[in-house]
Copies of this chain bind each other. A is one copy, B any other.
Amino acid sequence: MNEQSISFIGSGSVAWHLAPALDNAGFVVKEVYSRNPKHAELLTSRLYQAEVKATLDFSTSSSSIFIIAVTDDAIKTIAQEIILPEDGFLIHTSGSRPLSDLQFAATANIGVLYPLQTFSKQKKVNFKNTPLFIESNNEEATELLQLIGNSISNEVKKIASEERKALHVAAVFASNFTNHLLSISKGILQKNSLEFEWLKPLIQETIQKSMSLEPENAQTGPAKRGDLETLDMHLDFLKEDPQVSEIYQLISQHIIDQYQR
């Protein structure tokens, strides 16, 4: 039943993990297209029988499923340019782009499969506990999305475009920004010849505590305590880096407004 063939458009970090996951879950990834053919080739080397596809003309493709995993702003253009076989099912994987981005394609079967996860090529991902959010405009396509999703994850949920956008914004704060704060933190340590390693037990405990108590019950630190003297001292310490200093000020003020009023 699962023996359907898939073509990937894109070879970035989402495709890098999603294509092999599906290839190992009963689907067959047949083709990989990428603006950069070398990247496509690298991805095919992770797959059993996939070949590099040089153009977006899939009219004679034996695949029935076409997954666009590219940067958000390229999705519409690809939907307009891609040539699909009859009844080809076109899917994108973006958190923020609506399903309607795919309406430009010459097919009635369109859908979204958004994995709520952070993907870097160097780091293996566990799809089993990664929630997959699906959306489509017809029942048959929804069933196929369920099938695709269930083959790799235990958490497949239907969600509309607007909710998916909210989810994506929340994920940017929880994941992208959190990681960047760790990067800022490491930068401060390095500048002072201190080791990032020392912070790791603190970071782990912070996240564990935030999950188990809920973040609003786990907040600590000078801003939470309303300790203005320490805040001023820290701002003075950061004064040579105006951007980091402004981030410090803004987040601290937001914490003060939430906990001290």
Contact = CB atoms under 8 A, between A and B. Distances in A.
Interface residues of A, number: 97
Contact of A185 (B96, B174, B213, B218): B174
A117 B202 contact: yes
A225 interface: yes
Copies of this chain, how many?
2
- Of residues A126, A250, A253, which shows the largest number of chain B Cβ atoms within 10 Å of its Cβ? A250
Determine chain A's interface SS by DSSP, over half rule.
helix
Contacts of A178: 178, 181-182, 203, 206-207, 210
Contact of A229 (B73, B168, B177, B205): B73
B251 A180 contact: yes
21 contacts: A13-B220, A72-B227, A96-B222, A116-B202, A117-B205, A118-B202, A118-B209, A155-B198, A162-B192, A166-B237, A169-B237, A170-B194, A172-B221, A175-B203, A176-B222, A178-B178, A181-B181, A183-B258, A203-B211, A204-B207, A243-B250
